[in-house]
Chain A
């Protein structure tokens, strides 16, 4: 069982602030790192899939980086908006199929 950890557990920021969260995972048997956004009463929505050390992905104001050697990924949100309020999950997957180990998530609240 892989131990995927996310920090902080929760975060409250003012609208317009930039913020970042951390996902740490065991670097052995690593193959892919997924980030999801999960809004209340909705399905988790895929944000990024990253596989290579040094990967950087961007979607609008949200970006992510990956360091597979030290086993961490950062998710950045620039200029947070109230609609960014959600729980952000990361999941680490190994080589053998779609078996993922999820962190417990970072709950982000953006205050207008």
Chain B
């Protein structure tokens, strides 16, 4: 079955702009998580959605938001972009939520560059 897809794969934005990234999970998966990776940092958890509800949120400012649709597709939005938001953004889908023992499947990521 098809894997996790993310669009766009690459994006260049200017400081102050906003951006929306999209993630389509594996068919049947209802949990979508988002991560940010910056140089020298491990993957940092942004948030997790399950059945259109945000279940967990990482330690990021309110400029980072997300949502999940009824078909489990998820979008992540970053408003008022800063240079430090330049990163690889990964999403991961999982069949279930509620416990961290379910395998996560990652998408290829969106590389965001803020100039």
- Please list the residues of chain A having a beta carbon within 8 angstroms of any beta carbon in chain B: 1, 4, 31-32, 34, 36, 42-46, 49, 51, 89, 91, 93-105
Which residue on chain A has the smallest CB distance to residue B49?
Answer: A98
Q: Is the CB of B42 within 8 A of A98?
A: no
- Please list the residues of chain B having a beta carbon within 8 angstroms of any beta carbon in chain A: 3-4, 31, 33, 35, 40-45, 48, 50, 55-56, 58-59, 90, 92, 94, 97-109
Q: Is the CB of B99 within 8 A of A97?
A: yes
- Chain A nearest CB: distance from B88 CB in Å? 11
Instruction: Please classify the interface of chain B as helix (H, G, I), strand (E, B), loop, or mixed, using the class held by over half of its residues.
Output: loop
Q: Is the CB of B100 within 8 A of A97?
A: yes
Given contacts A44-B106, A97-B100, contact A4 B94 (CB under 8 A): no
Task: Chain B residues near A91: list those with CB within 8 A.
Answer: 43
Instruction: Please classify the interface of chain A as helix (H, G, I), strand (E, B), loop, or mixed, using the class held by over half of its residues.
Output: loop
Which residue on chain B has the smallest CB distance to residue A94?
Answer: B100
Task: Chain B residues near A101: list those with CB within 8 A.
Answer: 42, 45
A-B contact pairs, 14 of them (CB 8 A): A34-B104, A45-B106, A49-B102, A94-B100, A95-B100, A98-B55, A98-B56, A98-B97, A98-B104, A99-B100, A100-B45, A102-B35, A102-B44, A102-B45
- Chain A nearest CB: distance from B23 CB in Å? 12
Which residue on chain B has the smallest CB distance to residue A104?
Answer: B42
Which residue on chain A has the smallest CB distance to residue B101?
Answer: A32
Task: Chain B residues near A93: list those with CB within 8 A.
Answer: 100-101
CA distance in complex: A104, B33 (Å): 18
Interface centre among A42, A98, A104 (most CB of B within 10 A): A98
Q: Is the CB of A42 within 8 A of B43?
A: no
- Chain A nearest CB: distance from B101 CB in Å? 4
Q: Is the CB of B42 within 8 A of A97?
A: no
Which residue on chain A has the smallest CB distance to residue B32?
Answer: A98
Task: Chain B residues near A96: list those with CB within 8 A.
Answer: 55-56, 98
